[in-house]
């Protein structure tokens, strides 16, 4: 099992490093091709920060490990709100002054509600998976259209394109993608081996170790945004990542191979994800035109929810 733990740790480190190289290379390549900064932010950087979740879930689905595939997606959403946003708010209260919450938050709630649809019958079929991907394509087109029309999307316009030569940019884009695949294989193999050795389901491993590891880019982005006083970016990053995970990560995994679900994914994990999403909206929206703020108390509540949820997962995994 030591080798499996080494594979997980090494895979996570390589996964994070290769994701950064892929994002830099892809963003610079897009810049050389004349893509506007708005589209680079929406498509290149947006896809790049969620590349770890997407790659790990895709490979898990190919290897017939559905627990890791869906546990990674739902677990990352829970981690994003409860652990990452909670920790970020404890460091510094998050003041949200733009239209991010008013525009994106209802969409996140609707998509989270929609995600229960494939879970009810206990299987994510190919048709359901492709439907999720089609919804994301429509959402991406709608967001791009509105962003281009208003040219006021601070989450995208302020993206800094790395200054790399054309050849170096293409090299890092291709090399980063290859290393993403390799590191994901190490991570999935190690996670399966650990789950087997400990006698727990791969769903538990996907919801905990894998979900935390693949959410590290969002963690780093949120902390950096708060340090730069870009509060909208911190929460917008979380909302965008959760939308992507719910539609694209689950969609790709189900499109590769129909996924049979464990009942707990609906009754336990989806319910926690939905509850945290509603709690985020409750904390963030203030009546009487007061500034939208997620304060340290809210952050402490989120972090307590994550600790309680993870403790329950570990207890139920070993007592099953």
So where are the chain's domains?
Answer: 53-156+199-319
Weakest-pLDDT range from 69-83, 108-122, 175-189: 175-189
Asked if pLDDT for residue 7 goes beyond 70, the answer is: yes
Can you tell me the mean pLDDT for 287-293? 66
Q: Average pLDDT of the chain?
A: 81
Query: How many angstroms separate the Cα of 247 from the Cα of each of 185, 251, 293?
Result: 22, 6, 27
Weakest-pLDDT range from 29-43, 84-98, 132-146, 179-193: 29-43
Asked if pLDDT for residue 152 goes beyond 60, the answer is: no
Can you tell me the mean pLDDT for 2-19? 83
255/262 Cα distance (integer angstroms): 18
50/86 Cα distance (integer angstroms): 20
Can you tell me the mean pLDDT for 34-62? 71
Task: Place 262 in a pLDDT band, splitting at 50, 70 and 90.
Answer: confident
Q: Find which of 82-91, 169-178, 205-214, 259-268 is predicted with most confidence, using mean pLDDT.
A: 82-91
Asked if pLDDT for residue 101 goes beyond 50, the answer is: yes
User: What pLDDT shows up at residue 150?
Assistant: 57
Task: Place 290 in a pLDDT band, splitting at 50, 70 and 90.
Answer: low
Asked if pLDDT for residue 211 goes beyond 80, the answer is: yes
In the structure encoding, which two tokens stand for residue 82, read together?
């409860």
CATH superfamily of 53-156+199-319: NCX, central ion-binding region (1.20.1420.30)
């Amino acid at each position: 099992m030591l080798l499996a733990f080494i594979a997980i740790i090494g895979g996570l480190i390589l996964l994070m490093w290769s994701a950064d190289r892929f994002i830099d290379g892809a963003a610079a390549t897009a810049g050389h091709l004349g893509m506007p900064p708005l589209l680079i932010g929406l498509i290149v950087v947006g896809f790049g920060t969620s590349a770890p979740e997407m790659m790990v879930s895709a490979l898990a689905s190919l290897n017939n490990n559905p627990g890791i595939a869906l546990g990674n997606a739902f677990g990352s959403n829970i981690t994003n709100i409860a652990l990452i946003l909670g920790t970020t708010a404890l460091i510094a209260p998050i003041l949200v002054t733009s239209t991010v919450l008013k525009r994106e938050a209802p969409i996140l709630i609707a998509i989270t509600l929609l995600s229960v649809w494939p879970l009810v019958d206990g299987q994510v079929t190919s048709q359901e998976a492709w439907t999720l991907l089609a919804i994301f394509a429509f959402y991406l087109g709608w967001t791009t259209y509105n962003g281009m029309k208003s040219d006021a999307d601070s989450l995208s316009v302020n993206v800094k394109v790395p200054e790399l030569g054309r050849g170096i940019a293409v090299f890092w884009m291709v090399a980063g993608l290859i290393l993403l695949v390799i590191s994901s294989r190490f991570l999935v193999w190690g996670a399966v081996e650990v789950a087997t050795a400990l006698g727990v389901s791969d769903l538990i491993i996907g919801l905990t170790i894998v979900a935390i590891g693949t959410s590290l880019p969002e963690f780093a982005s949120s902390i950096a945004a708060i340090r730069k006083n870009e509060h909208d970016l911190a929460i917008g990053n979380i909302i965008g990542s959760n939308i992507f995970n719910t539609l694209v990560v689950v969609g790709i995994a189900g499109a590769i191979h129909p996924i049979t679900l464990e009942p707990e994914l609906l009754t336990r994990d989806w319910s926690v994800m939905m509850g945290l999403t509603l709690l985020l909206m409750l904390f963030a929206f203030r009546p009487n035109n007061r500034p939208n703020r997620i304060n340290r108390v809210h952050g402490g509540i989120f972090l307590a929810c994550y600790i309680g949820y993870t403790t329950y997962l570990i207890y139920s995994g070993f007592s099953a």
